[in-house]
Every structure is written in structure tokens, then in C-alpha cells.
Amino acid sequence: MIICSSLSDLEQAISSLSNDCKIGLVPTMGALHQGHISLVKTAFKYTDTVIVSIFVNPVQFNNPDDLKRYPRTVEADCRLLEDAGTTIVFIPSVEDIYPEPDNRVFDLGGLDSVGEGPRRPGHFNGVAKVVTRLFDLTKPTYAFFGEKDFQQLAIIRFFTRQLGYPVEIIPCPIFREDDGLAMSSRNTLLDSEQRNAAPAIYKALSNASRLADQRELSPKELIGITVREINSNPYLNSEYVEIVNSLTLQPVTGWDEAAGIQMWVAVFAGEIRLIDNIKLK
């Protein structure tokens, strides 16, 4: 495994690859867990050359405290990646990614008008900045993103197509703990009471999925039930619960409005913000 801590290191590592090599890119912000490793394993099903980036992207944090709190475990991350057979690990500095102020404003097709978008102004524009920069630097054939960030995945697919990047975006299923909690780097910030409470999020989503199958409740009624179920736990407080068209990400009011329908949630456990989602149709 080659560890690249600068742009020149990365250029040298990539130049050592064969000309017809197809690169698989797994962008991460570090604090890796088995969910990230599942992305690496999936990448190796597509290509023999996998680059994993570790970069806590400051421009996608609208809350400075959240950026400060974000866990950083680079040495442990590299051990996990080496065990997974990663070809190249790219650990750039902020100056490497943004050698000058990046003032680009992306057209995200309105996909950022719901869900995380209004609650985290500028977040998805920041995601677009770093992802396109990584595409430019690594020139991947494939890029792998987890479905836990369902809205982010849709937005990345949109601007990748819109900007004409020759990159195939590969979605990867949510990787969960044995108790159902979606794996996230933020889970390490939970105290014991919060961690014990957090699986109730997926339990509420699973219950919503079962109720949705019966089609006896409207989406609005199902949202109300799910909010009450999550908030009944004293350690959890839902920020939002939405039911949306899986393609347009716009809210639906009836089950026949879209071929694919998703429920997504953001929930606070103390100050730690957790997101999750489930397919309803």
C-alpha cells in the first residue's frame, strides 16, 4: 500500500500504474469503520486498483463545532486500509485540495432544496467542490459512495453527469451494526446511553417500512408515527423525518406519486447528529 501525503506523492504513485489501469476511488473523511471497508471491498470487484482518500473537508461543514468534533484517526485508518488491500491512500492537506479559494457554485438541480440542504446551508456545494477536485486529481473510472448518505449520493450522481465526468458512480448498501445502527464515524462520539438508544432510529424506520407496505396510512400520517416513536426515547430528538421521491427527492403526499419512495431522517442524540434512511417502495 502506498501512502501519499502530498500531490506530488499522488502523481508519482498514479504514474507508476499501468496506462490501461482502471482506478476505483473511495472518498472518505477518515475515522474509518467496516462500512468504509465494505466500500473498498466492493471497489475491488470492479478493479484491481483502489485509491482511498482521507480528507476532512472544511467547506462542507456549516457548523465550526461539528468540524472541530469530527473524529480523526489516521494511523488506525491506514492499518484498516492496508488489511483491506488498498492500493493507494491519499491524505492531502487543505492546501493540496484548495490551493486557492474555491468560489465555485454548483447547480445541484434542486436536489439540495430538501432534507439536509435547508438544515446545512452550503453543505452539498462543499461536497461538490471536494468530490470534483478528487475526480480531477485521481481520474477514476469508478467512484464508490454509501447509501446511508442517500441525498448526497443522488447529488453526486447529478453533478457528475451534468459536468461530464467519465466516472461511474457505484452506490453501496448501508452497513449496519448488529443492533441495526447505521455505521458512521460519528457513532464514536456517542456516550454509552446515547449509543444504547441510537438503534431505536433504525427500529422506527423498519416499523415505518412495514406500515408503508400496508398502504393504510398516508405518508403524512406515517411521518407523524415515526417522529413520535423516535422522540419517545429520552436520548433521541428527531430533527426531521421526510418521505420523498427516490429520484427527484421531493416530498410525496401519496404512495402512487413515484415509482420509488424513500424515508430519511436526521436525529440528535445529545449534540451528535445521526442520519439514516430506508426504502418504502
Instruction: Lay out the sheet containing 237-245: strands in order across.
Output: 237-245, 261-269, 272-279
Per-residue DSSP letters for 5-27? Answer: -SHHHHHHHHHTS-TTPPEEEEE
**DSSP at 141:** S
Q: Which three cell numbers stand for residue 140?
A: 477514476
CA dihedral sign, ordered 265, 269, 273, 275: negative
Catalytic residues: 36
User: In one letter, which amino acid is 155?
Assistant: I
171 near 147, Cβ under 8 Å? yes
Integer CA distances (angstroms), 99 to 7, 8, 28, 93, 126, in order: 11, 14, 20, 10, 15
Q: Cell 422522540 sits at which residue?
A: 231
**Residue 27 contacts by C-beta under 8 Å, 6 or more apart in sequence?**
52, 53, 55, 130, 131, 134, 143, 145
Alpha helices in 115-256 (DSSP H): 116-119, 123-138, 150-162, 192-197, 199-214, 219-231
Q: In whole angstroms, give the CA distance from residue 233 to residue 123.
A: 29
Cα end-to-end distance, the chain, whole Å? 41
